[in-house]
Each structure stands twice: as structure tokens, then as C-alpha cells.
Structure 1
């Protein structure tokens, strides 16, 4: 049975899974969920994700939700295909885990979600301008996180070490979204971070998912 992803190209969580599948050179079917119509709250999606969110994922008899859990499954299940996204060395894997479970999901992503709402979603959905006070506050928080990344990337090409991993991949959708906003300058002002961003956004899987160069 083909891999199925129930989601939307407007969802950064869905894009995270699509990037992972593309890095693994896996065939899949994207079943579009109409967020504006509230389809993610309908019974056929709730049966796949009881929280009424996307993406939902099917691979034969395996049914999952939550983009990071799905991506870890893909990386482990198809470890011998495409890009190796999880290091098999326990010490190196632990370092990768720090950056995708602590830095990205607990520090980076919450900031980016707020910035995306203020700078992108308000304009797209309601034609409204973002709250500048919130944007400035979140920008300062982002700068603190990126200062840590700048130091980390001084001696490492990627967050997890020498090779691209889930630790980097998880950042891509939100970074890509921010490249059309004033937040791009926050990344550009840090040479090591900027080089990392250019690298991860130019990967073939990224170009395949987004269709056009994103940096």
C-alpha cells in the first residue's frame, strides 16, 4: 500500500513530513485537507488524528499523527533509503536529539509559530497587519536562540554535526516561511547561521517540495 499523508501545503507540520519523505526518495500520496473549510475537524480526519490536526499518516497498517513522530518513524523504518536522517552512533544521535527535541521543538518552533501568525497568517487570512510589539519581542527571543546556533555552527556544518539530519530538517518549513518577511535579516546577520540556512534550503528535497528556490 502507498504511503498516504493527509495534510495541506499551507501547514508547516505537513511540509515537515513531506520533506522527510522526499529526503528518503519515497513515493507518497498527499491527500489535501481543506483547512479553511474545517475539514480537519471532520470525522474522517478525527479518525486518523483524534486532536483534529494535520498531518495524519498511513503506511500500510501503520497509522500515525504528529509530524515529528511521523518523521522519526520514516527515518528509522526506511533507514537504508535516501538520506540518513538519524545517526546510528549513540553519542552523535544524542547530540542530534538535543537540537531537534530541545532547541527546535521547545525553543525555536514556539517563537516561529508566533512570528508566522503575526507576519504571515494574519495578513493571508484576515488582511491584517501583525502586532509590532509582539513581533519585536519574539524577534529578540529568536536572536537569543540563533546566537546559540551561531556558536554551534562555527565548528559544525549542521546542528547535529557533520551530516544533515532531522535536527536540521525540522527547521526548514518555518525558516522557508520567514524568508519573505523582515525576519530573514535576523538569519542573514549571523554568518554561520546564514550559511546553514542557504545549505538546507537548497537541498534537492527542499526544492522538490516547495517547487522553486527558497533563498
Structure 2
């Protein structure tokens, strides 16, 4: 009996949704992207809240399993489909997984907060006719700059953040970094740092991410 594809709820332009899409493509897992019209508050309707209690995106369903946090979803996909697609995405031994996890934590706790603010303020606020908060932009640009100095040092020691192989630790940075590099005037945050620039060029040119970007362009 054919197995139904996993379902990802949310727009492809969402950074959290695109993180999950890239993971699914890397692992060669069939999926269905189900649009959620956030302008019409579809993410706040009772049926949606049953699978995403916080009323955010993405929501994820895999047969009888429902999940809602993008990094947890990615870990689940990698564990369930460890023998499919690119098998180095979440490591192949406990030490590799621990290294990936620590850099995933760095992304979630240290990279995501300032980069998310900058993505909203610089990329989305102008489109939404919302006034930009220059003080907030300066504060978060400073935070991100200091963090990327640490990344640059790390990436001078290893090809990727968690070691010599591309992993979830790198993939998880793609959504916010993509907007900062391609939809704002802060590209130099990445390109002015030799090792970060080399790393960004490599991870952003993976086939999986190019496919996600193509999905984002489809209206």
C-alpha cells in the first residue's frame, strides 16, 4: 500500500516552513505543501490549532504524527528516514549528532533572534508599509555581527559548522541568511567575512535550497 506523503502547512516564503522543506528535499521524502493564508488568519482557525496549538507555521503531519516546531520536525524527518537521501544530515554516530545539536542550539538561541528581527525590519516591514525601527536594527545588527565573528573563526577550522560534512546545523541557517543576503542591504554581514562567505556560498548553492527558493517564487 502506498504511503501518503507528509504534509507541511504554511507558505514557502516562511523561514520556518522553508527550513522543513529543505530538510525533506535533502532526505528525498515525498511531501505535500498545503497553503495557509495568514492574511485571512487561517492559522488561527480551530482545525488548524488542533495540529499547531500556537497558531504559527509550519504545522506538520506524517500519517498519525503531528509536529509543529521546525527544528524538531527536521530532527524527526532525519531520524525516521535515516536511510534515505543524504544520510549525513543529522550525523551517523552519537558524537556527530551532539556536534550538530550544539550548533543547532547556537542557531536557534543566538543566530535566529537577531537575524529574524533584521529580516522582518529590513525585508518585510517595507513591503508591509510598516515603519522600520532603526534602533532595533542597529542593536540586532551588532549582535549578529559579533556572532558571525565567532562563526568565521569556527569556519576557519572546519568546512561546516558541525564538522567536515554539511548537516542540519548549516541547513537551519539558510532561511534567514537567504533573506539577509538577497533581500536587504546587509549582505556584507556574510560576504565581509572570508570563511562565512565561503560557507554561505557552498550551503546556499545546494540543490535542495535552490528548489526551495524556486518554490518561494511560485505564487
TM-score bracket, normalised by the shorter chain, equals: over 0.9
In structure 1, the residue matched to 2:36 is: 33
Q: Find the residue that maps to 2:126 and give its secondary structure.
A: helix
Q: Kindly report structure 1 stretches of 4+ aligned residues shifted beyond 6 Å.
A: none
Q: Is 1:73–2:68 an aligned residue pair?
A: no
1:133 aligned residue: 135
Partners in 1 of 2:101 and 2:9 — Cα distance? Answer: 26
**Cα shift at 1:145:** 0.5
Q: Deviations over 1:161-210 (max 9, x none)?
A: 01011100100000111112122111111000001001111000001111
Question: What is the alpha-carbon distance in structure 2 between the residues aligned to residue 183 and residue 81 of structure 1?
Answer: 37
Give structure 1 stretches of 5+ with no counterpart.
none
SS in 2 for 1:30: strand
- Given that 1:119 and 1:129 are in contact with CA atoms closer than 8 Å, whether structure 2 keeps it comes out as no
Question: Corresponding residue for 2:204?
Answer: 201
Of 158, 161, 167, the match for 1:159? 161
Q: Structure 2: which 5+ runs fail to align? A: none
Q: Is 1:21 aligned to 2:27, yes or no?
A: no
Q: Distance in 1 between matches of 2:187 and 2:9?
A: 30
Name the SS for the 1:123 alignment partner.
coil
1:142-166 superposed Cα distances (whole Å, 9 cap, x missing partner) = 0111011001100211101010111
CA RMSD of aligned residues (A): 1.2
Partners of 1:29 and 1:174 in 2: how far apart?
23
CA distance in 2 between partners of 1:9 and 1:93 (Å): 27
* 1:49-99 CA-partner distances (Å, limit 9, x unpaired): 111111111111111111111110001101111112111222222111111
How many residue pairs get matched?
A: 210
Question: TM-score if structure 1 supplies the norm length?
Answer: 0.94
Counterpart-to-counterpart distance in 2, 1:105 and 1:133: 23
1:168 to 161, 165, 170: 170
Say whether the 8 Å CA contact 2:12–2:212 is kept in structure 1.
no
Give the structure 1 partner of residue 93 of structure 2.
Answer: 89
Aligned residue for 1:211, secondary structure, equals helix
